[in-house]
C-alpha cells in the first residue's frame, strides 16, 4: 500500500476509533442503565455494530475497499447515529480520486429513510463534490441546488455552485450565486463580480446584435448598463472601461469613449498602457490626432508613467517616423526605470538603427551588467534552489553541501 493511501486510511481509522470509543461508552452506559431499570438488551446491538466497524477497518487496511464499504454499510444500517463515519469514508475515497466509490457511499446515505435533515444536507453536499470532481457537472449543479433548497445559506454549497457555473461559462448564473454568497457571508469579491458583469454584458451585446437590429435604441441603452455597474462595483476595472468605451465608439459617442478610456490613467495608472491603442483609434475617429499626441506626451511625462506605457508610446512615435523623439523618451525611461531591460533593449535597437553606436554600446553594457547582477551563481542539486551566495546547508531543502556553481 502506498504511503499516501496509508495516511488517508489512518485518518479514517482514527475517526472510526473515535466512534468505536463512543460506541463502547454507550454500551457501558446502556448496561449501567439496564442494571438500574432492568430494561432490554441494547448492548448486543452495539457489539454487532462494533464488529462490523472492526471488519471494515480490517478490509481498509488490507486494501479491499469494496468489502470495507459493505461492512460499514452494515454497521450504519444497525446504528444510523454513526453515519458520519460512512460520510468520512466517502470523502476519503474522493480525496484518493476514487470518485465512483465516493458517489456510491454518499448515494447510499441519502437513500436512507431515517436520516436526519442535517446529515442529509451533509451527504448531499458531499455527493455534489463527488460529481464535481468526477466531471458530472449537471448532476453536481443539481446536488448543490438540493443542498441549497434545504439550507439556502450553505456557504460551501454556494461557493461550489458558483465555481461550477464559472467553469461552465454560465456567467449570469455565476453572478447570481456570487451575489447570494455576498449576502450570506457579508464578504464581497468586487473583482470577480465586476468581471462576471462584463461577461454578461458581452453576452447581452452579442444577443442584441443577433436579435432584431432595426429598433436597437433601447437595446443599446441596456447593453452599457453591465459595464457601468462593473465600474461602480470595482472602480479599478480596466476591462470595464475598455469595453464601455468600445461600446460607446460603436454608438458613435466618441468623446464619451475617450473620457472613459482616459479615466484609467487615474484609476489604474499601471494598466493605462492597455488602452493606448483604443485611445488612438478613438482620437483618429474624431479627427483629433493632436489631442492624442497631447494626452500621451502628458501621460508619459507624469511620475506614474509605467515602463510599458513609455514603451508603447515610443513604438507609436517610431511608427510615425519620429525616431529622435522616441529615443529621447526611452533615454528618460531608462533613467526612471533602470531595472527595465525592455526599455533598455528598445533604446538599444533604435540607437543602432540611428547609427548612434557609441551610446548603443553603453546601453548594452549597462543592460548586461544588470542582467548579470540578477543571475544566480549557485543552484542546489537536490531541490533546484538558486542563490548568488553559497550556503553549505540549502535554505530550502535543508540538505548539506548540495550547492553547485552555475
Residues lying near Zn ion in the complex (CB under 5 A) are found at 380, 382-383, 385, 394, 396-397
Q: How far is the CB of 7 from Zn ion (least distance, A)?
A: 24
Q: Which is nearer to Zn ion, 180 or 381 (CB)?
A: 381
Q: How far is the CB of 392 from Zn ion (least distance, A)?
A: 12
Count the residues in the chain: 406
Between CA 231 and CA 401 the distance in angstroms is 54
Alpha carbon 135 to chain centroid, angstroms: 18
User: What contacts 386, CB < 8 A, 6 or more positions away?
Assistant: 376, 378, 379, 380, 406
Q: How far is the CB of 403 from Zn ion (least distance, A)?
A: 8
Q: Which is nearer to Zn ion, 377 or 383 (CB)?
A: 383
Q: Which is nearer to Zn ion, 321 or 392 (CB)?
A: 392
Q: Which is nearer to Zn ion, 111 or 406 (CB)?
A: 406
Q: Which is nearer to Zn ion, 5 or 396 (CB)?
A: 396
Q: Which is nearer to Zn ion, 100 or 384 (CB)?
A: 384
Q: How far is the CB of 308 from Zn ion (least distance, A)?
A: 35
Q: Which is nearer to Zn ion, 347 or 394 (CB)?
A: 394
As a three-state string, the secondary structure of the chain is: CCHHHHHHHHHHHHHHHHHHHHHHHHHHHHHHHHHHHCCCCHHHHHHHHHHHHHHHHHHHHCCCHHHHHHHHHHHHHHCHHHHHHHHHHHHHHHHCCCHHHHHHHHHHHHCCCCCCHHHHHHHHHHHHHHHHHHCCHHHHHHHHHHHHHHCCCCHHHHHHHHHHHHHHCCHHHHHHHHHHHHHHHCCCCHHHHHHHHHHHHHHHHHHHHHCCCCCCHHHHHHHHHHHHHHHHHCCCCHHHHHHHHHHHHHCCCHHHHHHHHHHHHHHCHHHHHHHHHHHHHHHHHHCCHHHHHHHHHHHHHCCCCCHHHHHHHHHHHHHCCCHHHHHHHHHHHHHHCCCCHHHHHHHHHHHHHCCCHHHHHHHHHHHHHHHHHHCCCEEECCCCCEECCCCCECCCCCCECCEEEC
Instruction: Name the residue with cell 492624442.
Output: 292
Q: Which is nearer to Zn ion, 378 or 385 (CB)?
A: 385
Q: Which is nearer to Zn ion, 152 or 384 (CB)?
A: 384
Q: How far is the CB of 383 from Zn ion (least distance, A)?
A: 3
Q: How far is the CB of 2 from Zn ion (least distance, A)?
A: 25
Q: How far is the CB of 378 from Zn ion (least distance, A)?
A: 10
Q: How far is the CB of 389 from Zn ion (least distance, A)?
A: 14
Q: How far is the CB of 379 from Zn ion (least distance, A)?
A: 9
Amino acid at each position: 500500500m502506498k504511503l499516501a493511501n496509508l495516511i488517508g486510511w489512518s485518518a479514517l481509522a482514527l475517526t472510526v476509533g473515535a466512534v468505536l470509543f463512543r460506541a463502547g461508552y454507550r454500551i457501558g452506559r446502556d448496561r449501567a442503565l439496564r442494571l438500574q431499570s432492568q430494561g432490554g438488551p441494547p448492548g448486543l446491538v452495539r457489539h454487532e455494530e462494533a464488529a462490523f466497524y472492526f471488519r471494515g477497518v480490517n478490509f481498509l487496511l488490507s486494501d479491499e475497499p469494496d468489502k470495507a464499504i459493505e461492512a460499514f454499510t452494515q454497521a450504519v444500517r444497525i446504528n444510523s447515529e454513526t453515519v458520519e463515519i460512512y460520510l468520512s469514508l466517502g470523502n476519503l475515497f474522493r480525496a484518493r480520486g476514487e470518485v465512483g466509490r465516493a458517489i456510491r457511499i454518499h448515494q447510499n446515505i441519502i437513500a436512507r429513510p431515517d436520516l436526519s435533515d442535517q446529515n442529509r444536507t451533509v451527504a448531499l453536499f458531499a455527493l455534489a463534490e463527488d460529481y464535481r470532481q468526477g466531471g458530472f457537472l449537471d448532476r453536481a449543479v443539481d446536488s448543490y441546488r438540493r443542498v441549497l433548497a434545504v439550507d439556502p445559506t450553505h456557504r460551501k454549497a454556494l461557493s461550489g455552485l458558483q465555481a461550477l457555473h464559472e467553469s461552465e461559462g454560465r456567467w449570469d448564473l455565476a453572478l447570481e450565486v456570487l451575489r447570494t454568497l455576498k449576502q450570506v457571508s457579508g464578504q464581497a469579491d468586487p473583482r470577480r463580480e465586476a468581471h462576471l458583469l462584463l461577461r454578461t454584458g458581452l453576452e447581452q451585446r452579442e444577443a442584441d446584435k443577433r436579435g432584431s437590429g432595426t429598433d436597437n435604441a433601447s437595446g443599446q441603452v441596456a447593453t452599457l448598463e453591465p459595464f457601468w455597474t462593473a465600474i461602480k462595483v470595482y472602480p479599478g476595472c480596466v476591462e470595464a472601461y475598455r469595453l464601455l468605451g468600445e461600446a460607446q465608439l460603436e454608438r458613435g459617442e466618441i468623446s464619451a469613449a475617450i473620457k472613459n478610456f482616459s479615466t484609467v490613467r487615474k484609476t489604474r495608472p499601471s494598466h493605462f498602457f492597455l488602452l493606448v491603442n483604443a485611445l488612438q483609434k478613438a482620437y483618429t475617429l474624431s479627427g483629433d490626432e493632436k489631442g492624442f499626441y497631447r494626452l500621451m506626451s502628458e501621460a508619459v511625462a507624469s511620475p506614474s508613467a509605467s515602463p510599458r506605457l513609455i514603451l508603447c508610446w515610443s513604438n507609436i512615435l517610431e511608427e510615425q517616423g519620429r525616431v529622435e523623439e522616441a529615443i529621447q523618451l526611452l533615454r528618460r525611461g531608462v533613467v526612471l526605470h533602470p531595472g527595465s531591460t525592455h526599455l533598455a533593449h528598445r533604446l538599444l535597437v533604435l540607437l543602432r538603427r540611428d547609427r548612434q553606436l557609441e551610446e548603443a554600446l553603453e546601453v548594452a553594457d549597462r543592460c548586461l551588467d544588470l542582467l548579470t547582477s540578477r543571475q544566480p551563481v549557485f543552484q542546489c542539486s537536490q531541490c533546484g534552489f538558486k542563490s548568488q551566495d553559497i550556503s553549505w546547508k540549502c535554505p530550502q531543502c535543508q540538505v548539506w553541501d548540495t550547492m553547485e556553481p552555475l
